[in-house]
Structure 1
Amino acid sequence: MRPGGTCLVVMRAPDGSEFPNPGVYLEVVEDERLVLTDAYTAAWEPSGKAFMTAIITFADEAGGTRYTARIRHWSAADREAHEAMGFHQGWGQCADQLAALAARL
């Protein structure tokens, strides 16, 4: 991972449908912060429709790690569409999966 490097977030619906969301990393701070957006695709090419920027931080806390995901949408309509897709449940599942992985380490 590096700023300008490509990323791919795949959102999966309960029925198994997949929604690939290609983008790029804007900022990478090892063990601390990831910022990625779908406003660009590979090689800083603008995407057809920007939807969100994700800011993910990790911080030491009480012998563990605090994981915080903040999502910035381009418009209120984009935010509402993301919520209708199950945004809160999906990102909650992601956090649960990370916690389960960390518990095995």
Structure 2
Amino acid sequence: MSLHPPGTVLHELALTRLIDAPRSKVFRAWTEPDLLAQWWGPNGMTTPLCEMQLWVGGLFRTVMRAPDGTEYPNQGVFLEIVAPARIVFTDAFGPGWVPSNRAFMTAVVTFEDVQGKTQYSARAWHWNAADCLAHEEMGFYRGWGESLDRLVALVTTQMPG
């Protein structure tokens, strides 16, 4: 399945980490709303809203809340779900975290089994260099990195098998 038209240049930001947990467990933490809400967002954020229609074309919607009460809504659509190996979804928001009809990025999250551990990769594909740069300047590496730290803590110490 091609997610971008032929000849499209991908503007990508990516994080990868080996997680000491089976990929089925890491995949569950990504696909069960109650679990995702426990780790989604940078340090200090909560996720009071997490909705998933876990099928191709289904809705993916979250609201992150900062300690000062500011809310950051995200919405998107699942483009591909291959359990327990891959999730692809759009994320649509505009400046000021205002939901948008235009996808800001396509997120490609993969879970590869490596001797009982999970090689985790999260890639954000952007349609143009300006969106990629804007996402990086918004704190992609810090925000997604802190979320990943929280995910790792959940699947390695808090979440039952």
On whether the aligned pair clears a TM of 0.5, the verdict is yes
**Identity %, equivalent residues:** 55
Please give the alpha-carbon distance, in whole angstroms, between the structure 2 residues aligned to 1:12 and 1:63. 34
State the SS of the aligned residue for 2:107: strand
1:52-67 superposed matches below 5 A: 52-67=105-120
1:72 Cα deviation (Å)? 0.3
1:93-104 superposed matches below 5 A: 93-104=146-157
1:18 Cα deviation (Å)? 2.9
Normalising by structure 1, report the TM-score.
0.80
1:1-105 superposed matches below 5 A: 1-10=54-63, 17-38=70-91, 47-104=100-157, 105=160
- Structure 1, residues 37-82: CA drift from partner, whole Å, max 9, x if none? 136xxxxxxx533210000000111331111001101211111111
- Unaligned ranges ≥5, structure 1: 40-46
| Cα RMSD after superposing both structures | 2.0
- Structure 1, residues 71-97: CA drift from partner, whole Å, max 9, x if none? 101211111111111111111111111
Please give the alpha-carbon distance, in whole angstroms, between the structure 1 residues aligned to 2:156 and 2:85. 19
1:19 Cα deviation (Å)? 2.1
Cα contact 2:109–2:120 (8 A) shared by 1: yes
- Unaligned ranges ≥5, structure 2: 1-53, 93-99
Q: How many residues align?
A: 98
Amino acid across the alignment from 2:120: Y
Q: If each structure's strand is expressed as a fraction of its own residues, which one has the higher value? A: 1
